[in-house]
Amino acid sequence: MALDRKIAYIDLSTGEVETAPIPVEMRKLYLGGRGLDMYLLYNHLKPGIDPLGPDNVLTVSAGLLVGTPASASARTHIGAKSPLTGFIGSSNMGGFFAPELRWAGFDHLVIKGKADGPVYLWIHDGEIEIRDGSELWGEDIPTTQELIKEELGDPEVKALCIGVAGENLVRFANVMTGIKNAAGRTGMGAVMGSKNLKAIAVRGTMDIKIRHPEQALEYNATLTEHIASTKFAQIMQKWGTMFIYGVTNTTGLVRVRNFQLNQQVGGDIECEHIEKYSLGTEGCYGCVIHCRHKYLIKDGPHAGTYGEGPEYTSQGAFGMEVGCNDFETILVGNSLVNKYGMDTLETGSLIGWAMELYEKGILTDADTGGLKLEWGNDEAVLEMVARIANRQGLGDVLAEGPLRAAAKIGQDSLKYCIHVKGMSNLHSDERPTPSLALGIATSSRGADHLRSRPAIDLYHLPKELLCKIYGGPKPYNGPLSSDYSVYEGKARMVQWQEMMYEAIDCVGVCKYHTIFLSPNLIAFEELSRLIYLNTGLEFTPEEIWDIADRAYTVERLFNIREGLTRADDWLVDRYFDEPTPIGLPIARGKSIDRERFSQMIGEYYELHGWDENGVPRPETLEALGLGDEPSRML
């Protein structure tokens, strides 16, 4: 059955492995995936531990619907205490690993301790082995996966792994599977590296029994037909997420030269350029969209560079933020971070920050080893990617992440760093968009566009449609506005998206199939039906909201236990003090108003049932069944 997968507890220090069933009661509380991972971390982690020490706990999981007929049910979640922020570490990726993990009999792995030397896990049809990984240490992401397949004699083995960035404990190192699927935020790759865990390989042939198979197939066919018919899906199939750049850059909603401009004037990094390099497109397990290009640079100084994507995030990391206008720089940078196993957002943002510091004389040639960190210096950008991954020179400083790097650089360096909770922001500029600004400020894992972003706020949708979306499943009768520049009603939009994304991460379906970049896709009602047909569990949309709320509140409790306060739910001063200099009239001359933003945070807290300091009230915890946490039921 879809509910009979197990949890495994793996101690790398002792070599002990224990497995156990996952009680249905826990499914009803957290479903699986990210939700149950958050519960496990809150219950198995001691407060105040070193994220790069053996006491950190790494969770790896597949969502409840992964491997079923549900569309795009491919997502893997990875969690730990973040070595980048010191708060909750949580990251999510697509590909084919999570379905294989379920077919091998497991939904959740809880990994503790530290191996004496490099190891990898081999999981196959209910069995788990800890194997020597010495021959894998030092290899890049693609090579590691190929060597594992050769050693195990099975080309169908799926593996997630770290590259040299994870081995070198770069605090924003990724965990990767395939060429480009990245659990890319909060430094989960560094946690694996700190445990000497190079990879986890899986192969499974165990069936997942669907509760109502014919109806599940029929319902999913209806959903996928609808999804594929939307303009959003069709443009994603053609360009991937790169299509976003045309609108956001034209409007003036992007970060250029770190935070100096909000529009790339004269830039030439539009998505259409991928046609010259594309070898076709690919998708994750069970997905009809196929949103990534396979690309190859065939000539010139970077001939032979192969990769997948690039995403909109790499357009920002190796284009806008660093002032580069060469599309090949984006392709090469994207390929490099994926080989090294490093967060493209964090990497590009830190290099852009360093370039502004260099421009202002805070960093000099002595600090950079003679490297000219000037805007638009393509080769310097690519060189810095390598130096960060290998912890060389200034790269060693930046590998520590924004707050630690700023402490080492000193002077006024922190003033120019665009981060929340110690994690760098996407290359977006939220000064004209209060809802998006609130989302990055309050996100549980730091500056974020994948946990609470109401992207459809940018579409000027009719108020009637906004009320239909944001008015339920938990009743809301407050204000909503089609104007993305106002503050009213935006707290609800952020909270609603927060709950939607939490729920979708619990079941392991891709966010691009939900109300994220399109108002016409999956929401709580469809999720309720998918869960019932595939697993037999019956939840109303309101009950799914409650499950998401419970899981998200556990994330909040984790962060509070690690020292989070209201002051951490805030933006850097530049958002308030520096108006946007260019862009369309709706985006030009904009900054965030401190008083109104503070009021909006208060509204957001109230919607969650938290007090004025962002602490969940006792009655809120009681209503969510969290009064006795940590309960250690699993």
As a whole number, the mean pLDDT across the chain is 97
> How far is residue 165's CA from residue 189's CA, in Å, rounded to a whole number?
8
Domain boundary (424, 451, 486) is at: 424
What is the rounded average pLDDT of the residues 595-614? Answer: 98
| Identity of the amino acid at 619 | E
pLDDT surpasses 90 at 207: yes
Give yes or no for residue 457 having a pLDDT over 80.
yes
Q: Is the whole model's pTM more than 0.85, yes or no? A: yes
Assess whether 341 and 460 both reside in one domain: no
Supply the pLDDT for residue 239.
Answer: 95
Q: What's the CATH code of the domain at 370?
A: 1.10.569.10
Report d(CA 486, CA 493) in Å as an integer.
12
pLDDT at 1 over 70: no
Task: Give me the pLDDT at residue 266, please.
Answer: 83
Domain assignment present for residue 594? The answer is yes
Q: Is the pLDDT of residue 44 over 90?
A: yes
Q: What are residue 271's DSSP bridge partners?
A: none
Question: CB of 59 within 8 A of CB of 80?
Answer: yes
Based on the structure, what is the number of domains in the chain? 3
The mean pLDDT value for 340-361 works out to 98
Structure tokens at 464: 């009637």
Q: Are residues 268 and 387 in the same domain?
A: yes
Answer whether residue 350 is part of any domain.
yes
pLDDT tens-digit profile of 494-528? Answer: 999 999 999 999 999 999 999 999 999 999 999 99
Q: Beta strand pairing status for 158-161 and 197-203?
A: antiparallel
pLDDT for the residue numbered 214: 97
Residue at 86 is within a domain: yes
Question: Does the CA dihedral 216-222-228-232 come out positive or negative?
Answer: negative
Same domain, 446 and 386: no
Could you tell me the CATH number of the domain that includes residue 468?
1.10.599.10
**How many CB atoms sit inside 10 A of residue 588's CB?**
16
389-436 pLDDT tens trace: 999 999 999 999 999 999 999 999 999 999 999 999 999 999 999 999
pLDDT single digits (tens) 123-137 = 999 999 999 999 999
Measured CA to CA, the distance from residue 559 to residue 277 in angstroms comes to 43
**Arithmetic mean of pLDDT, 342-371:** 98
* Mean pLDDT value across residues 365-387: 98
Q: Hey, CA dihedral for 135, 139, 141, 143, is it positive or negative?
A: negative
Is the four-CA dihedral 145, 149, 155, 158 of positive or negative sign? negative
Phi, psi angle pair for 217, to nearest 5°: -65, -45
- DSSP structure class, residue 630: S
pLDDT bucket at 89, cuts 50 / 70 / 90: very high
Residues 555 and 584 in one domain: yes
CB atoms within 10 A of CB 214: 9
Distance CA 545, CA 556 (A): 16
Strand duo 181-183 + 197-203: pairing: unpaired
Helices (H), 104-158: 141-152
19: pLDDT strictly greater than 70: yes
Above 90 in pLDDT, residue 2?
no
Residues 418 and 527 in one domain: no
Segment holding 21, helix H or strand E: strand 17-21
On whether both 406 and 438 belong to a single domain, the answer is no
Residues 377 and 438 in one domain: no
CATH number at residue 100: 3.60.9.10
Where does a domain end: 156, 184, 203?
Answer: 203
Judge whether residue 86 has pLDDT over 70: yes
What domain range includes position 516?
434-623
In a domain, 571, yes or no: yes
Residues, the chain = 634
Q: What are phi and psi of 385, to 5 degrees?
A: -60, -50
Residue pair 281/293 in contact by the 8 Å Cβ criterion? yes
Residue 83, preceding peptide bond in cis (omega within 30° of 0) = no
Q: Check whether residue 356 and residue 443 sit in a common domain.
A: no
Where helices occur in 472-612 by DSSP H, the ranges are 490-507, 524-535, 541-561, 574-577, 594-608
Question: Does 478 share its domain with 611?
Answer: yes
pLDDT at residue number 69: 94
Domain co-membership, 373 together with 439: no
Give a yes or no: residue 214 inside a domain: no
pLDDT for residue 268: 86
Task: Note whether 384 and 518 are same-domain residues.
Answer: no
For residue 125, the model assigns a pLDDT of 97
Boundary-marking domain end, from 375, 403, 424: 424
Predicted local distance difference test score (pLDDT) of residue 267: 78
d(CA 2, CA 24): 11
Mean pLDDT of 279-307: 96
**Alpha-carbon distance 515 to 522, whole Å?**
6
User: Is the residue at 388 inside a domain?
Assistant: yes
Q: Establish if 230 belongs to a structural domain.
A: no
Tokens of 527: 């999720």
Q: Is the pLDDT of residue 374 over 80?
A: yes
Same domain flag for 309 and 349:
yes
In a domain, 231, yes or no: no
Which residues 6+ apart lie within 8 Å of 171 measured at CB?
83, 84, 187, 190, 399, 400, 401, 404
